[in-house]
Structure 1
Amino acid sequence: MDSLRAFAAQLGIADPFGAGFLSVLATFVAALAFTWYFIPRLREFAVQAGWADQPNARRLNKEPLPNAGGLAIFAGFVGSIVVAWALRPIAVELVNIQVLAILLGAAILVLVGFIDDQFGLSPLSRLIVQVFVALLLVVNGLKMDFNAIPFLPTLPDAVNSPLSTLLTIVWIVGLTNAVNLMDGVDGVVGGVGFVVSMVLLITAARFPDRAAAVILLAGLAGACLGYLRYNFNPSRIIMGDAGAYLIGFTLAAVSLLGTLKFSAGASLIVPLIVLALPVLDTTQVVIGRLRRGIRNPLGHPDKTHIHHRVLARTASARRTAVILWFVALACGALGMLLQGVPLAAIAVTVVLVGGSLWFVTHRRLRAHDRERRAEGGL
């Protein structure tokens, strides 16, 4: 028993039988179960309502594909947080306010993303809303500190405060759009969202004052995994902008609540490494479009994203998704190593994440085989 507790401590678990760990586990399971069982019902309704992406030159689907999966991810995410609060209420008032600010911002972006999915919104209107939700976090104390970034000069408060606010807005808006831009191949964003959530969860669990971040990440990880059961190629539903905005925004916001605020001398290096895949993807796309003379690089979709390049080489959406999942996992492992997470905890994270991804993809492929036999009358 003592050896079990000692090993659990390396993973950031103070007591594997305590209320804290059990509430995190319950949050993850609740999000996973709700999303897993809710998506088929939502899909049926979406088909009837006409909530679907039509085939075009940039999409892989050959027929209309329901695009309301983001609503299921959001419902599973929020529902699991309610379960967590019921099991173990967060007593710190400031943390409660910040968590509610994140949930409110996520709800606003899910709504805007869903409207864009169904009716279309201009890039400017979406950007205005994204800046607004970023400011919502800032006024509630979720803000980067420019002076905490190493290797840079310390600035006076009169300069540091507005610069930190600007940096926070760029981080929130940039990562929200970066994740959305990655959503071009079945399973990529759902899998990467799950991987990053789990990596940040294990990292944040090592800090005793990061309970709120851990709960939010557990809920997001469970919801992403439940969604992935229906989104691995050939997908039955896609998340649309609503789901991609939710994942990108929540990861960006929770990183402010947890892993970015280490201590004096904290830096952006670790979360940037963990989130390297969407960040690098967006960076190379924007630079490439600017070089081609495109003035609005985010408003001109093309096939220069990393997932498009990998897909062109593999000729398989499944292999593309798996490759990018493990690139994200490798970045996460490197980030954990730089954060000082023990090798045992990193190994457990890699095995746990890899095993979970194998489980849901295996279930999806088995379900697809049953669907083909049913269609063939076998």
Structure 2
Amino acid sequence: MDALRALAADLGIADPFGSGFLSVLITFLTALVFTWRFIPGLRRFAVQAGWADLPNARRLNTEPLPNAGGLAIFAGFVVSVIVAWALRPIVVELVNIQVLAIMLGASIMVLTGFIDDQFSLSPLTRLLVQVLVSVLLIVNGLRIDFNAIPFLPVIPEALSQPLSAFLTVLWIVGLTNAVNLMDGVDGVVGGVGFVVSMVLLATAAQFPDRAAAVILLAGLAGATLGYLRFNFNPSRIIMGDAGAYLIGFTLAAVSLLGTLKVSAGASLIVPLIVLALPVVDTTQVVIGRLARGIRNPLGHPDKTHIHHRVLARTASARRTAVILWTVATLCGALGMFLQGVAPRVIVVTALLIATCLSFVASHRVRAHRRELAANPPQENP
């Protein structure tokens, strides 16, 4: 029992049998179960409503595929946070306004993404909404403090304030779009979103000022895992821009919770390194498109993304997803190490991530086999 409590303490769990840890666990399971059970009904409704993604240069589907998965992730996320709020396991009153700002911003991003999925918004409109939502966070105290970033000189407040605002907008808008641009192969964004959520959750649990972040990340992790049960290749539903915007924005915003103290700059090391995969992917895509003379690199879909390159080598969407999940996990482990997280916490987190992903992936594979047995493919005469 003492060994269990010692390990729990290393993981940031003050009492493994206390209300705080149980509330985080309930939040995670609520999001997982709700999303898992909600998607089949949502998928049927989406098919009837015509909410579907048509094949294009970025996507690999060869026929229309329901694209309302982001709504299920959002629903599971919101329901779990409401449950956590009702349980009130931790004192979050001091950051309630910031949590509400994140939830409101996430709602706006999901709505914008969903409208774009169904009716196509212009890149300028999407960018404007993303900037406005970033400003919403800034006015509620969620921002990157330029003067707290390591290795940079301290500058006068008159200059640091606008620079801090600019960096915050760049952080939110950049990560939101980076995650969205990765959504091109079944299971990639859902899995990477789960990995990043779990890594940030394990890291935030090490700091007493990030309790609210733990709750939000537990909800997002559970919702993405529940969605992944239906999105691992061959997917039954995709998240669309609504889901990608939700994951990218929420991860970027939650990483700012509890970063307003002296260690603010260091607290961004983990999310930056953990999200290295979408960041590097977006960077190389943008540079490549600009080199080819494309004026609007974010609005010109092609198959030069990392997931497309890996898919070309593996010829398997499943192997591609697993490879990128592994890369994201390794990036997460590196980020945790640089943050000073204990090695055994890193190992436990990685094993937990691998176990959860294996669980949902195997469920999807078995479900697909049952689908094939019930409806065997027809041979051409």
TM-score, normalization: structure 1? 0.97
Partner of 1:364: 364
> What CA distance in whole angstroms lies between the structure 1 residues aligned with 2:331 and 2:98?
28
> What CA distance in whole angstroms lies between the structure 2 residues aligned with 1:306 and 1:178?
12
Using the TM superposition, give the Cα deviation of residue 377 of structure 1 relative to its aligned residue in structure 2, in angstroms.
9.3
Using the TM superposition, give the Cα deviation of residue 270 of structure 1 relative to its aligned residue in structure 2, in angstroms.
2.7
Using the TM superposition, give the Cα deviation of residue 263 of structure 1 relative to its aligned residue in structure 2, in angstroms.
3.3
Q: How many residues are paired up?
A: 377
Partner of 2:38: 38
5 Å-filtered alignment, 1:11-26, equals: 11-26=11-26
Using the TM superposition, give the Cα deviation of residue 60 of structure 1 relative to its aligned residue in structure 2, in angstroms.
1.6
5 Å-filtered alignment, 1:317-356, equals: 317-356=317-356
Using the TM superposition, give the Cα deviation of residue 9 of structure 1 relative to its aligned residue in structure 2, in angstroms.
0.4
Partner of 1:294: 294
> What CA distance in whole angstroms lies between the structure 2 residues aligned with 1:19 and 1:216?
16
Partner of 1:314: 314
Using the TM superposition, give the Cα deviation of residue 326 of structure 1 relative to its aligned residue in structure 2, in angstroms.
0.5
5 Å-filtered alignment, 1:1-378, equals: 1-88=1-88, 91-258=91-258, 260-261=259-260, 263-264=262-263, 266-267=265-266, 268-376=268-376
Using the TM superposition, give the Cα deviation of residue 58 of structure 1 relative to its aligned residue in structure 2, in angstroms.
3.4
Using the TM superposition, give the Cα deviation of residue 92 of structure 1 relative to its aligned residue in structure 2, in angstroms.
4.1
Gaps of 5+ in 2: none
> What CA distance in whole angstroms lies between the structure 2 residues aligned with 1:276 and 1:96?
29
- Conservation of the 8 A alpha-carbon contact between 2:24 and 2:214: yes
> What CA distance in whole angstroms lies between the structure 1 residues aligned with 2:113 and 2:68?
10
Using the TM superposition, give the Cα deviation of residue 89 of structure 1 relative to its aligned residue in structure 2, in angstroms.
6.0
Supply the RMSD in Å over aligned alpha carbons.
1.4
* Letter of the 2:157 counterpart: D
* Letter of the 2:262 counterpart: S
Provide, for residues 52-90 of structure 1, a one-character-per-residue CA deviation record: whole Å limited to 9, x for no partner: 012234322122100000000000000000010111165
Provide, for residues 302-331 of structure 1, a one-character-per-residue CA deviation record: whole Å limited to 9, x for no partner: 111110111111111111000000000000
Provide, for residues 110-163 of structure 1, a one-character-per-residue CA deviation record: whole Å limited to 9, x for no partner: 001000000110000000000000000000000001111111111100000000
Gaps of 5+ in 1: none
Provide, for residues 186-236 of structure 1, a one-character-per-residue CA deviation record: whole Å limited to 9, x for no partner: 000000000000000000001112110000000000000000000000000
Question: Which stretch of structure 1 is more off in the superposition, 297-306 or 170-179?
Answer: 297-306
> What CA distance in whole angstroms lies between the structure 1 residues aligned with 2:69 and 2:270?
30
> What CA distance in whole angstroms lies between the structure 1 residues aligned with 2:217 and 2:26?
12
Sequence identity percentage: 79
